Amino acid sequence: MLGQNYFQTRSRLGTAVRELGDLCEMAGMDAARIAMLKNLMANLQDPFLFVVAGEVNSGKSTLLNAIFGEDFCSTDVIPSTSQIAYFKYGKEAHEFEFSEDILEIYRPNQFLKDFNIVDTPGTNSIEPRHQQITEHFLPAADLVLFVFSVTNPWGATTWDLLDRIHNHWRKKIVFILQQCELRSEEEVKAILDHLQKTAQHRFNRRYPTFAVSAKQAFLAKTTGLDTSTLSPFSRIDDLEAHISGVVESSETRLTKLIHAWRAACFVLNEVKEKLGTAIEIIRADSDLLSELEPAVEIQKGRSIKKLEPLFTSLDQSFMSAGLQAEPLLNAEFRLLSSLTPSSQNAEEIEGFIFATTMKAVRQNVESGAKSVEEDVQQLWERVSKEMKQHFNLSLSVGEDGMPDWTESRVRLCKSVEKATSDILLELDLKEELTRRFKKRGRAIWSFIAIAVVAVIGGVGLTVADLAPWNAIAYAVAGVFLACGAYTGGRSVQNIRSFYSAILNDQRDKLSDAQRTAFGVETNHFFADFVTLFDPLRTVCREHREKYEPHIRSIEKCEKILAELERILTPVEKHLKQ
């Protein structure tokens, strides 16, 4: 694209100016400011004007098509070669005969939004009235392309027109030797040298001079043929680079660009000053509310850490319940109980541990929940005071203006109680102890039964005076009684070990469950606290929804204008030199 850097810079500035226009309207700025910005951008949108001159059949139209890569200037498009063709952008293709000598041709080619083209009649067919009109376009032209055909570069009419052009406009002139595919390389080089020497002799200056094959260039851009061969052979790259340089170095355009940029910076500062208070309020609101969650997290950590003695007490209450239940366990080991085991004792042991532990949990958790409530209340008093001072808004939290934490506190207590109850129900002491008690009873009964049989046998043997067999029978009875006593003692030890293992195993599970429940509900407790500030969040959200789009627009404009500053400041310094 010709002049790509300039048009990219202009486009970015246009984006910033459009954003500023919207900001000005929103902020109720002076309408003159908006009008000024629109006028500045309208001036920047003025197309560059290129005037093309040369003899008939010098290849002017083909050259223009090649430069812009579109077939907009074919000879069959122009109704009369005796008229000056003035190409402009139009949404639909049409022509308008501005005068007898000027035909305005509108085409939907996008590049015509940035470049207007004046294609003059051949200098060898130009009439006196054409000359005056042609010279009318030249002062406004950003670039004048004098086209010489390589087959006849010596046409006197072209040089005569050059003679008549005022010296002030010669700096915009470029010589183009066209149709170079019709000559050899040596011939083209000789003709170029002659053109430059002639210009030096007649005008005492050297004009930028280029030899091109517009036909080859156009084919390379539009047909998709072997561009690697056609494009270099066309030699048009150097000409396009020169034209881009003219576009990007136009003092008039660059000065307008700099003025528009400075005006945009000035208006942006005005907008920022007018919206500054609202923007700072939004930022302060957001900063203050953003500090709420960190403050809650810090206090929540302190509250849970402060409850470590509570968790220790809960743990001790469970183990204490187990110790207090041991007399019930010991009662089962008495001889009569051992011989007549039942599930009642086991049920009493399990029920005692459950009831004793739950009672201790209710007492301790209530105090823990109140401790959390006190921490939340203190945080509320501090934070709500700060929020009220900042927002000048009283939160509606109850008849007396204080939150009621009862529901949160009760929920915390019930959650920990439920977690404790669920773990205690997993003890499964009743069934297992009952089974062990009965097994112990059956073993003792077996030894006693054998011992009784042996005693009866011994008595019979004694009556029969069968010594020493009676003594042996009594000895067997004694042995089985001893074995029964040993088995009973050993089973007591096993049952006690089982009992202790169950308690220790459930102890860790119970502690984890209680801590988890307490942590979850403490989080909910503080979440309820944060919810109280939802009205303030709503106010802030409404402010942000109203002003944040404008803040983003300001930030976008600032970024664009800062980038343009890096580009345009060196240019401005150069123009002042």
Domains of the chain with CATH codes? 47-249 (3.40.50.300), 291-434+506-532 (no CATH)
DSSP string, 246-258: HHHT-HHHHHHHH
SS3 label, residue 94: strand
Q: Encoding tokens for residue 549?
A: 């789009």
Percent of all residues in the chain with a pLDDT value above 70, rounded to a whole number: 85
The CA distance from 245 to 163, in Å, is 26
Contact 358, 425 (CB under 8 A): no
Q: Which residues of the chain have pLDDT under 70?
A: 1, 74-82, 123-135, 166-171, 224-233, 276-289, 332-344, 387-401
Q: What is the 3-state secondary structure (H, E, C) of 13-68?
A: HHHHHHHHHHHHHHHCCCHHHHHHHHHHHHHHCCCEEEEEEECCCCCHHHHHHHHH
| Cβ pair 300, 522 in contact under 8 A | yes
- Residue entry with tokens 């004098």: 146
Question: What is the DSSP code string of 365-413?
Answer: HHHHHHHHHHHHHHHHHHHHHHHHHHH------STTSS---HHHHHHHH
Q: Are 159 and 192 in contact (CB under 8 A)?
A: no
Cβ-Cβ contacts under 8 Å for 250 (sequence gap 6 or more) = 6, 48, 142
- Write down how long the chain is: 577
Cα 203 from Cα 222, distance rounded (Å): 38
- Residue 249 sits at the vertex; the CA angle it makes with 115 and 7, to the nearest 5 degrees, is 50
Q: Over the stretch 273-330, which tens digit does the pLDDT of each residue have?
A: 877 666 666 666 666 667 777 777 888 888 888 888 888 888 888 888 878 877 777 7
Amino acid sitting at position 171 = K
pLDDT given at position 529: 79
Contact status, residue 530 vs residue 261, Cβ threshold 8 Å: no
Cα dihedral 152/154/157/163 (nearest 10): 150
Q: pTM for this one?
A: 0.56
Q: What's the token pair of residue 427?
A: 């003890």
Q: What is the pLDDT of residue 563?
A: 92
Helix axis angle, 4-27 to 251-290, nearest 10°: 50
What's residue 440's pLDDT? 75
Q: What is the DSSP string of 101-140?
A: SEEEEEE--GGGGTEEEEEPPPTTT--HHHHHHHHHHGGG
Return the bridge partners of 52, or none.
119, 145
Give the DSSP H/E element, type plus range, for residue 305. Answer: helix 292-306
- Contact indicator for 66, 234 with CB cutoff of 8 Å: yes
